[in-house]
């Protein structure tokens, strides 16, 4: 996608990659992401500031050092019952931002995440997706590891594994698993709603 901003001698006085404006813009982006709970690895992937500065910003804003440990890298979590409904909602918001908002990359993810959270505020529901999860989801989707399938019952679009895409798909809301809604949170093993029979 278009990355022509960094042209040094362009006709527009755009922020160069080493300019003060670029620096401010990236700092603002980092602050925005940290405010939404982004992990350090996510910041490093999206913000072009040195790691030490990101760590310092994180400490300053959160009052603690960024947590260590790997990001949740499995696609399976998004397929479990409750997270799947939320992941589908998030992706719908993300795609709306790309299509109608003409945003791309991290901007679309940020706006999509906000939209997702606003929607939850209205329905008074707890968020299942942290910003880092949402970011991972978009990555999986853009890399073709996860995709959307239309439910033959409610006609909504839901997140499925790329190799799980099938013509006659029924979503977890139309066909909830027996245990759905009883536990407080689906366990890490997760109910494989989409495994079908």
Residues placed in the known binding site: 151, 154, 171, 174
Q: How far is the CB of 156 from Zn ion (least distance, A)?
A: 5
Q: How far is the CB of 85 from Zn ion (least distance, A)?
A: 10
Which of 174, 176, 177, 180 touches Zn ion (CB under 5 A)?
174
Q: How far is the CB of 48 from Zn ion (least distance, A)?
A: 41
| Host H or E run for residue 85 | helix 81-99
Q: Provide the annotated binding site for Zn(2+).
A: 151, 154, 171, 174
CA–CA separation, 73 and 93 (whole Å): 22
Please provide residue 158's backbone torsions phi and psi, each rounded to the nearest 5 degrees: -130, 150
Q: Which is nearer to Zn ion, 8 or 178 (CB)?
A: 178
CA dist list (Å): 188 to 123, 125, 173, 196, 197: 25, 21, 19, 19, 21
Please provide residue 90's backbone torsions phi and psi, each rounded to the nearest 5 degrees: -65, -45
Q: Which is nearer to Zn ion, 35 or 153 (CB)?
A: 153
Residue with the two structure tokens 């890298």: 73
Tokens read off for 147: 């995709």
Q: How far is the CB of 185 from Zn ion (least distance, A)?
A: 22
User: Cβ neighbours of residue 90 under 8 Å, at least 6 residues apart?
Assistant: 112, 113, 116, 129, 134, 137
Told to check if 62 binds Zn ion by CB under 5 A, we report: no
Task: Name which of residues 126 to 155 contact Zn ion (CB under 5 A).
Answer: 151, 153-154
Q: Which is nearer to Zn ion, 6 or 148 (CB)?
A: 148
Q: Which is nearer to Zn ion, 32 or 157 (CB)?
A: 157
Q: Which is nearer to Zn ion, 43 or 89 (CB)?
A: 89
Q: How far is the CB of 186 from Zn ion (least distance, A)?
A: 18
Segment near Zn ion (CB under 5 A), from 50-58, 117-125, 134-142, 164-172?
164-172
Q: Is 14 exposed, middle or buried (0-12, 13-18, 19+ CB in 10 A)?
A: middle
- CB–CB of 134/113 below 8 Å? yes
Which of 110, 171, 193, 194 touches Zn ion (CB under 5 A)?
171
Q: Catalog residues that contact Zn ion under the rule CB under 5 A.
A: 151, 153-154, 171, 174
């Amino acid at each position: 996608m278009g990355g022509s901003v960094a042209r040094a001698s362009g006709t527009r006085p755009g922020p160069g990659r080493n300019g003060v404006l670029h620096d401010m813009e990236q700092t603002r982006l980092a602050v925005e992401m940290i405010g939404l709970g982004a992990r350090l690895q996510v910041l490093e992937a999206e913000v072009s500031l040195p790691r030490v500065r990101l760590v310092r910003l994180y400490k300053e804003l959160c009052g603690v050092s960024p947590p260590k440990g790997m990001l949740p890298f499995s696609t399976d979590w998004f397929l479990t019952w409750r997270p799947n409904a939320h992941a589908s909602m998030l992706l719908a918001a993300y795609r709306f931002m790309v299509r109608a908002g003409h945003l791309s990359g991290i901007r679309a993810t940020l706006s999509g995440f906000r939209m997702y959270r606003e929607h939850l505020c209205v329905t008074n529901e707890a968020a299942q997706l942290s910003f880092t999860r949402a970011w991972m989801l978009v990555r999986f989707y853009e890399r073709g590891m996860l995709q959307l399938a239309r439910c033959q019952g409610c006609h909504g679009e839901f997140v499925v594994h790329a190799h799980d895409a099938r013509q006659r798909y029924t979503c977890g809301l139309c066909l909830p698993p027996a245990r759905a809604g009883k536990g407080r949170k689906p366990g890490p093993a997760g109910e494989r709603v989409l495994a079908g029979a």
